[in-house]
Amino acid sequence: MINSLTGCLLINKKVGLTSRQEVNNISHILKEKKCGHIGTLDPFASGLLIVLVGKATKISPFLERENKTYIATLKLGQMTDSGDLDGKVILEKEVPQLTKKQIQEALDSFLGKSFQIPPMYSALKKDGKHLYDYARKGIEIERQPREINVFNIKLISFKQDEITFEAKVSKGTYIRTLGEDIAKQLNCVGHLVALKRTAIGEFELSKAIDSDNVTEVDLISIEDMLRSLPTIYLEGREAFKANNGVALKLDSSADEVILKDEKGIIAVYKKQNSDVYSCLRGFR
């Protein structure tokens, strides 16, 4: 009998493993080949990794756009080619005498919207290859700046040459690059020596489990993962239309809605004009 599990898992990714290795471990345990994840965490990083199983892989776009919260430790005085402790030191600079006030002011200067150039050591692709594949060969690829938003950022601790801070940021923000920019703002250089993701949207690390302990019972339904979207229940012909992806007139002011019938979730529909919605993602 073919296993057809569907749902999501909140996983506490371990330091030293890639995000893909964590997913592969879960795929093996649950015996479900169709598995993915939201937001890649580097091997040196830990924290919340949302793993999608079966048909839940279809909700990836809805979760990828969520804001993320991190706790990072920035070591001043050395810059590495990767922006973290796994890279090679390429520049050193004396660490200036700093006060907590100076550091918090530097952190505050990054609040709000700005543009960030993605690092070469990233999972972004160029001509079908990851940028980190080019970086490992010493090839530099031109990257376009991307708009990011730092919603809040605060100093947690500062001792000697290490700054630990917490930041809530928009999709696509690279904390390694943010760390380098913070060091530059302090007239120094630096790289991350620790990084932990503590939240993705409303989902928190405190609810996450170790991938080695995963069972089917831990799967969270698609509806629960998308609970920020309003739900509309359909019957009869309207449910039949939704099952076939037909545009519908719906009584809602929301931009996106979940449509359900007695069998469960049918699809996510998106508003096109005043009251007409079209199918954005179907689950049947």
Q: Which residues are catalytic?
A: 42
CA–CA distance, 57 with 37 (Å, rounded to integer): 8
Tokens of 146: 């991307």
264-271/276-282 β-pairing:
antiparallel
Helices then strands, counting H and E runs in the chain, come out as 7, 18
Which DSSP category does 273 fall into? Answer: S
Within 88-201, residue ranges assigned H as helices are 100-108, 131-136, 175-185
CA–CA distance, 162 with 160 (Å, rounded to integer): 6
Torsion of CA 48, 22, 83, 193, to 10 degrees: 70
- Where is 152: in which H helix or E strand? strand 146-159
- Which residues have C-beta within 8 Å of that of residue 242, sequence separation ≥ 6? 234, 248, 259, 261, 266, 267, 269, 279
| Phi, psi torsion values for 129, nearest 5 degrees | -115, 145
Tokens of 1: 């009998």
